[in-house]
Amino acid sequence: MGLLVQKFGGSSLATPERVLRAAGRAVARFDAGDQVVVVCSAQGDWTDRLIGLAEEIHAQPSARELDMLKAVGEQMSIALMAIAIHKLGYEAISLTGPQAGIRTDSFHGKAKIRTIDTGRLRRELDGGQIVIVAGFQGVDSEDNITTIGRGGSDPTAVALAAALGAERCDIFTDVDGVYTADPRIVPDARWIRRMDYDELLELASLGARVMQSRAVELAKRFNVPFRVRSSFNESEGTLVTDLAGEIEYVDVRAAALDADQAKITIRHVPDRPGTAATIFSEIARATVNVDMIVQNVSEQGRTDVSFTVGKADLSRALSVAEELAGRLGAANVESDENVAKLSVIGIGMRSHSGVAERMFRALAAEKINIQMISTSEIKISCVIEAAGAEQALLAVHRAFELDKDESERS
Ligand code: ADP
Ligand code: ASP
Ligand code: MG
């Protein structure tokens, strides 16, 4: 007898029929002799609807009250899931994040899971229940309800799998697994059979929302192998584990597009030691995450500094940048929301050269201008104009022959 965590995303729970179908999956594993923990997201677009309700009343609702509200979405799902399992003739109990012992820090809206007290979970499992846990939520040391960031049911599932020493963690979603690119944009995208934690971590951080990046980080840290699979069919999904020991792997595994980017440029900043430190420590103090940074060659003691941030952080980052420009004696601040980040990733890049050249050639052939570039051991990212970004993704996907089976690529 093993212990299994199954997580169902919003689209997999969007209708009563889908809730019953997901319940059937849990029951099938229970019948096979496993202890089963089911983690549920809010149904369909309920999280967005709840946020919308708050914003109809107040443009900037209190983060604490917004968490109280957002947590409702998952609480609806777990009750419906337990009711569905009862309907199938089995015992099930739903638990909110706090009831399941999930403790977080106090950063409302982006809290981090600190500890999980598994006492109650174990008692219910040992008592023969299928245990349904609300994803995306926990409780801080003052008993305030917190949420852990968009897509947060994925990290809830992985953290529970780690805390309970689960044998498997299945992330059920609306695609057959991880593909070489978002299949909604690239019709020729290929399903990937196996993938390394680091590859999916990069892919998730670079805009592929198929799995939330913090969940992959946790899985890697606690060595939890997991599958991303469809809740609508029996396909095996993508197995994500540590592949670093494998002898052969492809250079580029997948491509991703992140449209949620904005670029800020501070023009004619005095070029002297300490300027970058001042700019980026002030930006960080405003809790804005900076992604790429480019500084031009200095001319007459002045330079331009450009960096990218998430669109949601743009107005906050801009007000800091404008204040800084005045203080540092820079000329002005410009911003551009019409940008996107296109990336290719693969652990094989560690040992293959020529990947960057191939990507740049593919973009050049489409007459797409590259505004910024950043690389790591296993990824190359380019900031380009948003207007041509989907066409650029298709071109790069083709250039690396990601539409072909791995064995047929040149
Ligand atoms: P869930 O509600 O189950 O959490 P999400 O909508 O968060 O589902 O994630 C699934 C979606 O991720 C898919 O419908 C797909 O459009 C998108 N996606 C983006 N990139 C990829 C990729 N490389 N492989 C598979 N799906 C991807
Ligand atoms: N319901 C939350 C969200 O929409 C968490 C999740 O779906 O994983 O972000
Ligand atoms: Mg998701």
Query: Residue 50 maps to which CATH number?
Result: 3.40.1160.10
pLDDT digits (tens, 9 = 90+) for 89-129: 999 999 999 999 999 999 999 999 999 999 999 999 999 99
Q: Which atom of ligand 1 is nearest to the CA of 184?
A: 16
98 in helix, strand or coil? coil
Write the single-letter amino acid at 81.
M
- The pLDDT of residue 299 is 86
306 within domain boundaries: no
Mean pLDDT value across residues 337-365: 92
- The pLDDT of residue 112 is 97
What is the distance between the alpha carbons of residues 378 and 141, in angstroms, rounded to a whole number? 38
The closest alpha carbon to 7, from 70, 76, 60, 78, belongs to 78
CA of 53 to the centre of ligand 3 (A): 22
pTM above 0.85, yes or no: yes
138 within domain boundaries: yes
What is the distance between the alpha carbons of residues 40 and 284, in angstroms, rounded to a whole number? 33
| DSSP conformational letter for 404 | S
- Do 252 and 402 form a contact (C-beta atoms < 8 A)? yes
Query: Helices 153-164 and 119-126 sit at what angle, rounded to 10 degrees?
Result: 70
258 within domain boundaries: no
Shortest-distance Cα residue to atom 8 of ligand 2: 151
Ligand with minimal distance to 182 CA: 1
Q: Mean pLDDT for the chain?
A: 95
Question: What protein residues have CB closer than 5 angstroms to ion ligand 3?
Answer: 9, 151
245 in helix, strand or coil? coil
What is the distance between the alpha carbons of residues 410 and 408, in angstroms, rounded to a whole number? 7
Query: Which range marks the domain in which residue 103 is found?
Result: 3-174
Q: Which atom of ligand 1 is nearest to the CA of 171?
A: 3
Q: Scanning the structure block, which residue is given the tokens 């923990």?
A: 37
CA of 41 to the centre of ligand 1 (A): 14
Cα 260–261–262 angle (5° rounding)?
Answer: 135
| DSSP conformational letter for 403 | T
Q: Residue 348 — pLDDT band, cuts 50, 70, 90?
A: confident
Quote the longest CA-to-CA distance of the chain.
78
What is the distance between the alpha carbons of residues 82 and 39, in angstroms, rounded to a whole number? 11
What is the distance between the alpha carbons of residues 33 and 94, in angstroms, rounded to a whole number? 20
- The pLDDT of residue 387 is 95
Candidate from 150, 174, 213 with most ligand 2 atoms within 8 A of CB, to mutate: 150
What domain count does the chain have? 1
What is the distance between the alpha carbons of residues 36 and 131, in angstroms, rounded to a whole number? 7
pLDDT digits (tens, 9 = 90+) for 13-54: 999 999 999 999 999 999 999 999 999 999 999 999 999 999
Ligand with minimal distance to 150 CA: 2
CA of 208 to the centre of ligand 1 (A): 7
227 within domain boundaries: no
Q: Which H helix or E strand runs over 277?
A: helix 275-285
- The pLDDT of residue 249 is 65
Shortest-distance Cα residue to atom 9 of ligand 2: 150
367 in helix, strand or coil? coil
- The pLDDT of residue 281 is 95
Q: Which atom of ligand 1 is nearest to the CA of 192?
A: 24
9 within domain boundaries: yes
Shortest-distance Cα residue to atom 12 of ligand 1: 210
pLDDT of 180 > 80? The answer is yes
CA of 57 to the centre of ligand 3 (A): 27
Q: Which atom of ligand 1 is nearest to the CA of 11?
A: 2
Output b/e per residue, 111-129; b: 16+ Cβ within 10 A.
Answer: bebeebebeebeebbeeeb
Q: Which is it for strands 3-8 and 168-173: parallel, antiparallel or unpaired? A: parallel
CA of 278 to the centre of ligand 1 (A): 38
Q: Scanning the structure block, which residue is given the tokens 């999916």?
A: 200
The closest alpha carbon to 156, from 85, 51, 78, belongs to 78
CA of 182 to the centre of ligand 1 (A): 7
- The pLDDT of residue 407 is 83
Mean pLDDT value across residues 54-80: 97
289 within domain boundaries: no
pLDDT digits (tens, 9 = 90+) for 230-281: 999 999 999 999 987 775 667 899 999 999 999 999 999 999 899 999 999 9
Write the single-letter amino acid at 356.
A
135 within domain boundaries: yes
402 within domain boundaries: no
Strand order in the sheet with 145-147: 113-116, 102-104, 137-139, 145-147
Q: Does any ligand 2 atom lie closer than 6 A to the CB of residue 41?
A: yes
Q: 350 to each of 104, 382, 394, how far by Cα in Å?
A: 36, 19, 24
Neighbours of 234 (CB within 10 A): 8
Q: Residue 138 — pLDDT band, cuts 50, 70, 90?
A: very high
Residue 187: burial class (beta carbons within 10 Å; 0-12, 13-18, 19+): exposed
pLDDT digits (tens, 9 = 90+) for 300-318: 899 999 999 999 899 999 9
Candidate from 8, 41, 154, 216 with most ligand 2 atoms within 8 A of CB, to mutate: 41
| DSSP conformational letter for 199 | H
- The pLDDT of residue 276 is 92
CA of 27 to the centre of ligand 2 (A): 24
- Do 67 and 108 form a contact (C-beta atoms < 8 A)? yes
CA of 9 to the centre of ligand 3 (A): 6
